[in-house]
Structure 1
Amino acid sequence: MQYDRIIKNGVVILESGDVQTDIAIKNGKIAAIGPNLNGANEIIDAKGYIVSPGMVDVHVHISEPGGIRAEWEGYKTGTSACAKGGVTTFVEMPLNQLPATTSGETIRQKYAAGEGKLHVDVASFGGLVPYNLTSGAIEEQAKEGVTAFKCFMGTCGDPTLDGDFANVNDYALWEGMRQIAKTGKLLAIHAENAPITDMLGKLAKERGETKVSQYVATRPVFTEVEAIRRAIFFAKLTGCRIHICHVACPEGVEEVIKARNEGVDVTCETCIHYLYFTTDELDAIGPLAKCSPPIRDKSAQDGLWKYLFSGHVITAVSDHSPCTFDLKDKPNAFDAWGGIAGVQNNVDIFFDEAVQKRGMSLKMFADIIAKNPAERFNLPTKGSITVGKDADLIFIKPHSHYVLKTDDLEYRNKFSAYVGRDIGAQVVRTFLRGETVYSLESGVVQSPIGQFIRR
């Protein structure tokens, strides 16, 4: 067989472990794996690099179509950042677009808005909100190919904006789970107790509190744990498969472990920023590091690392949720937008922190960033370096330190809590279905070849 290209001399992370071997690519797929492969139009030397499956980030926000949020993050800039950072597939959240993705019509609008702009492949979340339970919108979105659904138990959205997302009440959560269970798809849940966190935040502002650390104190661990318990209970009642988003505390993971032991089909993720920052750093960084659930203390971080290594947290995501700088540049952290721009630095930071600093195996690294999320979110052509799967590959140069600068960012709004940090590894090349979409020498390839994935 004549291959399109063969990658040689790299340390390749296979499902069975890492090995120095060759990878042959043909028609966008991995065609062969083994030593001394020959017969290709192009030979690519990966000597000195780790060859990993591209990251599958199952928690990314793009604001297109955007309405008044059109300047937050677009498909072109957001997917360029993914390509540069080694994220070859992501699952896009049903908000912060306007209109939010909550029906068949709105997801078709989203597909149209991204046409010809994608530098990586994009799967989609459908939305569960209180206002789409009686219109057949859940089934419509399933038929349009969403890979999963998403809801918020914490407060979200702007009720003054027509078509914005909205958080569920208990009835909407229960009834939405009943409908989603019939589709067989997964429901991802932002789990925070909205009445308590909202009131604690209101009281803190009335006391004149302004710091990010004081914001963190208004979202205590129990408000996350209680919501996770409630979601799990409803999942037991309805038979809905669920996934808890961005768990920020080990106590939340422990609720998931208990439920799984009882037979509930539930998994959870954490975020790179929870594994990297701690509360005592936040006031110096400012609102750029504000998010919800919030970044917690060192003991919480240590617990998350423990459960990541044990396999009870299946993946670490970016929760890339950017906005314009004016929404972050607030003297009072309570007034700032809550979201961290981070998708460009998932892979390099996690490789540095997990593999180089904590001794995680390369196989576990690849499972966490790619295999586990691809399997959980029903993306069968993604997630591992396996014959027949998409040739979505990244070259990682280990022990290659650089300091992240603002000019390095591909985002529409060039700011991030990670700017100024010394990162100990680099993504030097990214392949999407066998084609180079980013290289350290040339940057992001200008002709987008990404596609929407409909499941």
Structure 2
Amino acid sequence: MGGGARVSDVNLVLRSTRVITPEGTRAASVAVADGKIAAVLPYGAEPPPGARLEDVGDDVVLPGLVDTHVHVNDPGRSEWEGFWTATRAAAAGGITTLLDMPLNSLPPTTTAAHLGTKRAVARTKAHVDVGFWGGAVPDNVRELRPLYDAGVFGFKCFLSPSGVDEFPELDQDGLSRSLAEIAGFGGLLIVHAEDPHELARAPRRGGPAYADFLASRPRGAENTAIENLLAQAARYDARVHVLHLSSSDALPLIAAAKRDGVRITVESCPHFLTLTAEDVPDGATEFKCCPPIREAANQDALWQGLIDGTIDCVVSDHSPCTPDLKTPDFATAWGGISSLQLGLPAIWTEARRRGRSLEDVVRWMSTAPAALAGLTRKGAIEAGRDADFAVLAPDASFTVDPAELYHRNQVTAYAGRNLYGVVRSTWLRGTRIVRDGVLTEPTGLLLERNN
């Protein structure tokens, strides 16, 4: 048995003809002791005396997904979303760990005291394990190290307006100061990379036409911001991460920087990889996000970047709001896609269409996000890791009904879409927390960096 576990400690054996491990997919029995994976055993291994056997047949056992980009908005804007509802949606979607973004809550997570406020609200409401990002804003450079010492996983900044006044963007001087500070103690800066000058030069026209909104958020805004970020990261030998990449034009810049040793990682999101500008109806602002959903040819290039490793991971950027804020005017509607519960089936549906495997999906949505955040106990089915699992029926399909989603406001760009991949059950540290859509009481823990 791995991790010091003894046979007598094993209390659960989860068996499937298809278990996705770091060595590949195989028939196996996963032995669990004290909430951790004790061993991955041959399929026919006899369960130790006293251990419960759960045989899921041909359903696929995946490591629980890790979503490092979730806007929970609690406290302060809990009518948009909250820890109870967000973590229920996550669990129903096979996500067992999420990291909460530092903005859209009041107060934002820009000081250690504000982090304490956030944790106090989340502590009794988490159905999955929850960690927190800190925020880097113009006036809090001195707060960054205390936040890091308090356990945040890194720091988020915007390079263009965030949409909320209490979380202002960094200009290039502010980025330099924050990055120098964060690099000094070995932290991670995650960046909303759109250049404000490029955005200011773009045409702006209100109304319901998606084409007008798309023109107002050009690829050049992302490309310029990423180019500047790469230069700063190289200057300080800093670790940086590009959030929600939408522009495929930036992929050659990123690939070259990686080859040159710049410490950069990149994420994209299900909406950029499964939805296209050509299919967004005018006035349908449930599709609005910043940066925006772009054209099909751009999506094809993003998939190639994901396949070749230029893009490291896929996370939700779940950014909900109340329905009244999704006005039919793309200029004034709140920007954000609600997809926390649907990311796995959305990506799997498109991945299988493109000839990719569930092993790829696990790498993009579990292993790589866990590595990004330094969550060494998450992201894989192997001895010593937390016994976090999603059990998936990959060939079963369903039609998205917003009324069946667990996040607080049932607004989604995926309404009516037929998706493959039904999550049969979700397990957190060896306890089944979702079974056929029915959730248990919350048992999630609040995580700190390096624990």
Shorter-chain TM-score bucket reads: over 0.9
Q: Give the partner amino acid of 1:191.
A: A
Is 1:452 aligned to 2:449, yes or no? no
Measured after TM superposition, the shift of residue 90 of structure 1 is 1.2
Could you say which residue in structure 2 is the equivalent of 1:60?
Answer: 70
Cα contact 1:51–1:395 (8 A) shared by 2: yes
Matched, 1:24 2:31: yes
Give the structure 2 partner of residue 169 of structure 1: 171
Which range is displaced more, 6-15 or 77-86?
6-15
Q: Distance in 2 between matches of 1:285 and 1:158?
A: 23
Indicate if the aligned counterparts of 1:307 and 1:313 stay in contact, CA closer than 8 A: yes
Q: Distance in 2 between matches of 1:248 and 1:426?
A: 27
Mapped contact 1:58–1:373 kept (Cα < 8 A) = yes
Q: Distance in 2 between matches of 1:157 and 1:363?
A: 37
Cα distance in 1 for partners of 2:430, 2:241 equals: 31
Aligned partner (choices 403, 408, 411) of residue 415 of structure 1? 411
Whether 2:144 is the aligned partner of 1:138: answer yes
Is 1:282 aligned to residue 289 of structure 2? no
Q: Which of 43, 47, 56 pairs up with 1:38? A: 47
Structure 2 residue aligned with 1:89: 97
2-side partners of 1:170 and 1:397: how far apart? Answer: 47
Residues 1:225 and 2:223 are matched in the alignment: yes
Tell me, in whole angstroms, the C-alpha distance in 2 between the residues paired with 1:25 and 1:390: 9
SS at match of 1:81: helix
CA contact (8 A) 1:18 1:362 kept: no
Once the two structures are superposed, residues 283-302 of structure 1 have per-residue CA deviations (whole angstroms, 9 ceiling, x without a partner) of 25710000011000011000
1:308 counterpart (306, 309, 317): 306
Following superposition, the deviation at residue 8 of structure 1 comes to: 1.3
In 1, Cα distance between the equivalents of 2:318 and 2:233? 27
C-alpha separation between the residues in 2 aligned to 1:170 and 1:154?
11
Residue identity opposite 1:192 in structure 2: E
Question: Percent identity, aligned pairs only?
Answer: 35
Q: Deviations over 1:157-205 (max 9, x none)?
A: 433xxxx21111111111000011012121110000123324536x323
Partners of 2:328 and 2:248 lie apart in 1 by 31
- List per-residue Cα deviations over 1:390-434 (Å, max 9, x = no partner): 011010101101101122100111111111110121111000111
Q: 1:213, 1:283 within 8 Å by CA — same for their partners in 2?
A: no
For 2:57 and 2:151, locate their aligned partners in 1 and report how far apart those are by CA, in whole Å.
39
Aligned-partner Cα distance in 2 for 1:229–1:267:
14
Q: Which residue of 1 aligns with 2:4?
A: none
Q: Which amino acid aligns with 2:355?
A: G
- Aligned equivalent of 2:391, options 388, 395, 404: 395
Residue 154 of structure 2 aligns with which residue? Answer: 148
1:337 to 297, 309, 334: 334
Matched residue pairs, number?
439
How big is each residue's C-alpha offset from its partner over 1:357-392, in whole Å with a ceiling of 9 and x where there is no partner?
Answer: 122133222111111111121111000001010011
- Whether the 8 Å contact between 2:93 and 2:341 is mirrored in structure 1 is yes
Q: Does 1:258 align with 2:252?
A: no
Cα distance in 1, alignment partners of residues 132 and 210 from structure 2: 31
SS at match of 2:205: helix
Report the counterpart of residue 135 of structure 2 in structure 1.
127
Asked if 1 retains the 8 angstrom alpha-carbon contact of 2:202 and 2:218, the reply is no
**C-alpha deviation, 1:10, in angstroms:** 3.4
Q: Deviations over 1:141-169 (max 9, x none)?
A: 1011011111011211433xxxx211111
Q: In structure 2, how many angstroms separate the alpha carbons of the residues matched to 1:199 and 1:105?
A: 39
Q: Which runs of 5+ in 2 are unaligned?
A: 1-6
Q: CA deviation at 1:9?
A: 2.6
Deviating more after overlay: 92-101 vs 358-367: 358-367
Contact 1:178 1:239 in 2 (8 A): no
Aligned partner of residue 408 in structure 2, secondary structure: coil
Identify which of 8, 12, 20 aligns with 1:5: 12
Query: Taking structure 1 as reference, are residues 104 and 357 closer, same or farther at Cα in structure 2, changes over 3 Å only?
Result: same
Match for 1:190 among 182, 189, 192? 192
- What letter matches 2:55 in structure 1? D
Report the residue type matching 1:392 in the other structure: D
C-alpha distance in 2 between matches for 1:222 and 1:216: 12
Q: Distance in 2 between matches of 1:9 and 1:170?
A: 52
**Contact 2:74–2:121 (Cα < 8 Å) also in 1:** yes
Partner deviation per Cα, 1:101-124 (whole Å, 9 max, x = no partner)? 101111111111101100001111
Deviations 1:294-317 (A, max 9, x none): 000011000011111112111111
Structure 2 equivalent of residue 178 of structure 1: 180
| 1:75 and 2:83 matched | yes
Whole-Å separation in 2 of the counterparts to 1:237 and 1:9? 49
For 2:153, the aligned partner's letter is T
Separation in structure 1 between the aligned mates of residue 319 and residue 138 of structure 2, nearest angstrom: 23
Give the Cα–Cα distance (whole angstroms) in 2 for the partners of residues 405 and 109 of structure 1. 34
2:347 corresponds to: 350
| 1:243-288 superposed Cα distances (whole Å, 9 cap, x missing partner) | 0001012222222111111110001011100011100111257100
Partner of 1:210, secondary structure, is: coil
Counterpart secondary structure, 1:155? coil
Identify if the C-alpha distance between structure 1 residues 198 and 322 changes in structure 2 by more than 3 Å, giving closer, same or farther. Answer: farther
Tell me how far apart the structure 2 counterparts of residues 143 and 338 of structure 1 sit (CA, whole Å): 32
Relative to the length of structure 2, the TM-score reads 0.95
Structure number with higher helix proportion: 1
- Write the distance in 2 (CA, Å) between the matches of 1:351 and 1:285: 28
CA distance in 2, matches of 1:198, 1:332: 19
2:355 pairs with 350, 353, 359, which one? 359
- Relative to 1, partners in 2 of residues 1:285 and 1:394: Cα closer, same or farther, differing over 3 Å? farther
Give the match's secondary structure for 2:317: coil
- Secondary structure, in 3 states, of the residue corresponding to 1:187? strand
| Unmatched segments (≥5 aa) in structure 1 | none
The alignment partner of 1:334 has SS state of coil
Take 1:171 and 1:309, find their aligned partners in 2: how far apart are those partners?
35
In structure 1, what is the equivalent of residue 438 of structure 2? 443
CA distance in 2: counterparts of 1:183 and 1:295, whole angstroms: 36
Cα deviation, 1:318-353, whole Å, max 9, x if unaligned, reads: 10000000001x131111000000010111111222
